[in-house]
Structure 1
């Protein structure tokens, strides 16, 4: 049955055509007497797309992170069912009074999958790796999270150094305070990876171009972490297989193998579940929820800890004109969009943070659905017969965007009603869409969104608008400063400063926040204890199978 959530601290809530024929879903295990005991030990999960990279340091998308969380761990994890940080490979940490020195006390006896030791030297190797990327490896499209959290590589960044004072103690020093460092380290992008494997398989040798990078063998064939599962095989466009790590320091329940099978279309994922080819899938189409529930499948809901938005690249004129951006905002019927293309329970958005995040403001400028006003603004801007490119992804469902084509169709129809002709530019999510939007200026209007990584306002609006970027194409030092002031303010001042920053963002209107959808997952009744997380920190070693 559908499990609804109960309110948690910090504003987060918790809930406790391709169908691939898979063999090995039921495995035989020998008991102590040498007989055979049948029992399910493979968990088959339908992903909506291939990961962009098996190296989480070079990833920023949910499908990459879903796989990475099974293989990799960071110094900091997440308290189950919340967005709050918790110890993981670091058992405790100390922070200096000036906020410039973090001392991490590490879990001992942990091994990487290649049987090398996880220790303080490995921690410092990873921090130094992130800080010293150059060329394509340092581009926003690849080192996205490091760039946005630490401010950039080398002299541009906030990282100064890391020292292994002993095998179990790593001391990280910063050039300037970074208040969200601890929760940020829970991101898969900051996972600990084997220094030996990174060097052997030349992880940082990236070829190609910024909008079409060519990753190393490490990122496609040889990822090595400390997590409960090890990499076995990636059949591009088909599946990824992981196996339990015999040397794992923690517990592994019933799932000894994981198969992520790639099924792009929501209808095909539903059919695969109904046929028994998979055990579960994410991003259930809103129209399928009731039918699956009635058929006896489990439906689990995540809270809407996300934002779907229409981005506007101001390098693509006349999107640099605020009158044009305002006209586009007034042209879109968000209520109708939610009713037609998004799940039940979806919240219409007024700003680029969900309503449960601290810093959400009731006083942001709003742009109500008013197509007459949109036409007037276009006339004032001299753009009555405007033509715009409209980029949207294909072959993907995201928590904030379950059906990109349907969302595109609804918005483009609204825009055409006010005299804006759109040129549709659909593009496969993997491997090109994010590279186009985040790594080039070759886009105009575009659909994208964000699932929060942790409960912090900067993780939303700071990630979007804290500095100049290819996605938005503008440079506004005053806006960047207002976000930085809020980020580094005393805790008792942050909420009001973030509210003011939210109001400034919506006054400037770099894009149109559309909605915060409710993502749903579906499983067979055999799957027990799936660890639903508002930030998708869902590791399968805790899952059990019923008879």
Structure 2
């Protein structure tokens, strides 16, 4: 915690300045300078701690897969990487009816899908039928559609009927002409455009789906999947995308986008190894640096890096993200609210941050699930669980387990995540034994297995984390909306993985959805969140922030609280002067 205070009080980023002007491998490899001083060429190398999943848009639910998918596909709209505002994607413009129910989108003309032999002529232009096909795939009930509940259910007219097999097409999506579509909602929804920027709404062609099914990879984005890796992309330790030379966008100088030749995502499960590769210029960015590593870098480099131009840029980025544990509230002792509250009170979150995470967090999650990253949303109004072992013991005794007597052994299921998750779980295991005298076992599985078990509630406690799908608190509270729980208990439940249901919560959440005034909407959501925290279906642990280090030759790269990357306008060029904050 002291390191954070030393480095970052009153500043957002730290620039390390190099005495020499040695050129990096990436800038020297770039060959072509274009109008406006931008430079074409190079590979942007970055990393994730797990392999990616399918690139089939309705199945994309994790950040790692979306790092790749967001560069292969585009939706009607997308997030601006600087401020997360909505900007045009495949739709060049849109209008909203006075009653806020009908959205009319005008598609760009001349946008082509990536070249592939699924098309008789090698490629073709995007049209309104592709939008219809994409949205109807989101409304089909199959094992690979994981986003119906999040994006379509109770949102678009006719979505529920189509999903349940009572309609052959999506009634609420109308093709006006080849470049115009109308989408009609069941009710006004203040964040509908945000939903459209989600991975599940990336537009893809029917021809590609007919040929590749859920392994489809054909989009309209700035980069393409090479044909030689499409069949086993999920098993690769490195995923490479190549530039789409026919991408529709140009910069303000008329230069064709993107500037980079390729982007490469490497699976690296060790932050120390990631940092080593970054220092060797094998990676352009290292995201989520442990604070002790930052301390080492600064102490070792600061004496030698005082002059301009800068060599690295180091940023502290509070995230719209929270780490927490899901509880199986429908199983055995965890169905008892006093037990769930006892577990919450028994965990010293500050100790976890200080001693395990070494300060790598925004702060302990002592309020609710929503992190303090949304302007206007007052998390301090949410009364959560401070560390209180005496209250925890009292609640456990009231639940029938004085001093942990006869309490069954619980299991925490987690994915490794570069060992950080495991270290935290060991600390929680230790604290629950010390404070409640209860045993907890740990089971480490791969990420996909953890996701499957969590959605099916095959276990007791699951390590989890949520990063906002869009910049509003609803993205978090949607995880507790009861109407997203499938009626069939054998069906997976996402995003409401705990299958939490509270009619009063649903009432407040639904009222907030149709409330335009932000202050009133947030007040409703704060009240709803308090209900969830009172019922304790989860254990909030900490609100996230990341330390991000970027080579200074990387231009036009923007960090943001959602942790999303947009490499469309990124290029490499060595610095010859101090960094302008606007650059």
Normalised by the length of structure 1, the TM-score is: 0.84
Shift of 1:268: 1.7
Please point out which of 334, 341, 347 is paired with 2:356: 341
Q: Report SS of the residue matched to 2:417.
A: coil
Distance 2:9 2:471 in 1: 17
| 8 Å Cα contact 1:49-1:395 kept in structure 2 | no
Shift of 1:31: 11
Task: Say whether 1:190 aligns with 2:201.
Answer: yes
Shift of 1:460: 0.8
In structure 2, the residue matched to 1:461 is 477
In structure 2, the residue matched to 1:20 is none
Shift of 1:375: 1.2
Task: Say whether 1:135 aligns with 2:146.
Answer: no
Shift of 1:362: 3.0
Q: Report SS of the residue matched to 2:93.
A: strand
Task: Say whether 1:524 aligns with 2:570.
Answer: no
In structure 1, the residue matched to 2:108 is 107
Q: Report SS of the residue matched to 2:263.
A: strand
Distance 1:235 1:348 in 2: 34
| 8 Å Cα contact 1:25-1:44 kept in structure 2 | no
Shift of 1:483: 1.8
Distance 2:356 2:83 in 1: 28
In structure 1, the residue matched to 2:461 is 445
Please point out which of 119, 123, 129 is paired with 1:121: 129
In structure 2, the residue matched to 1:329 is 344
Gaps of 5+ in 1: 8-12, 17-22, 33-37, 204-216
| 8 Å Cα contact 1:230-1:244 kept in structure 2 | yes
- Name the CA shift for 1:246/1:14 in 2 (closer, same or farther; >3 Å): farther
Shift of 1:473: 3.5
C-alpha offsets along residues 399-448 of structure 1, whole Å, 9 cap, x if unaligned? xxx8211221222221111112101121111x31111112x121212221
- Name the CA shift for 1:298/1:393 in 2 (closer, same or farther; >3 Å): farther
In structure 2, the residue matched to 1:211 is none
- Name the CA shift for 1:542/1:144 in 2 (closer, same or farther; >3 Å): farther
Greater C-alpha radius of gyration: 2
| 8 Å Cα contact 1:149-1:184 kept in structure 2 | no
Q: Report SS of the residue matched to 1:128.
A: helix
- Name the CA shift for 1:344/1:136 in 2 (closer, same or farther; >3 Å): closer
Greater shift after overlay, 402-411 or 99-108?
402-411
Shift of 1:361: 4.3
Please point out which of 360, 367, 377 is paired with 2:395: 377
* Aligned positions of 1:208-223 closer than 5 A: 217-218=215-216, 223=217
Distance 2:175 2:560 in 1: 33
* Aligned positions of 1:390-469 closer than 5 A: 390-396=411-417, 403-417=420-434, 418-429=436-447, 431-438=448-455, 440-467=456-483, 468=485, 469=493
| 8 Å Cα contact 1:66-1:536 kept in structure 2 | no
Task: Say whether 1:175 aligns with 2:186.
Answer: yes
Greater shift after overlay, 260-269 or 477-486?
477-486
- Name the CA shift for 1:276/1:355 in 2 (closer, same or farther; >3 Å): closer
Greater shift after overlay, 240-249 or 88-97?
88-97
Shift of 1:84: 2.4
| 8 Å Cα contact 1:5-1:14 kept in structure 2 | no
Q: Report SS of the residue matched to 1:489.
A: coil
Q: Report SS of the residue matched to 2:325.
A: strand
Distance 1:300 1:149 in 2: 40
In structure 1, the residue matched to 2:410 is 389
Q: Report SS of the residue matched to 2:335.
A: coil
Normalised by the length of structure 2, the TM-score is: 0.79
C-alpha offsets along residues 253-293 of structure 1, whole Å, 9 cap, x if unaligned? 54111111111121221222233332223222232123334
- Name the CA shift for 1:190/1:14 in 2 (closer, same or farther; >3 Å): farther
Task: Give the paired residue count.
Answer: 504
Greater shift after overlay, 183-192 or 232-241?
232-241
Distance 2:236 2:269 in 1: 9
Shift of 1:485: 2.2
- Name the CA shift for 1:29/1:544 in 2 (closer, same or farther; >3 Å): closer
Q: Report SS of the residue matched to 2:143.
A: helix
Shift of 1:96: 1.6
Shift of 1:175: 2.9
Gaps of 5+ in 2: 16-24, 116-122, 165-169, 251-256, 302-310, 486-492, 575-583
In structure 2, the residue matched to 1:35 is none
Task: Say whether 1:312 aligns with 2:327.
Answer: yes
C-alpha offsets along residues 215-272 of structure 1, whole Å, 9 cap, x if unaligned? xx32xxxx01111000013372411110000100114354111111111121221222
| 8 Å Cα contact 1:46-1:281 kept in structure 2 | yes
- Name the CA shift for 1:150/1:408 in 2 (closer, same or farther; >3 Å): farther
Task: Say whether 1:533 aligns with 2:560.
Answer: yes
C-alpha offsets along residues 93-127 of structure 1, whole Å, 9 cap, x if unaligned? 11122232110112221111132211212111111
Distance 2:56 2:351 in 1: 39
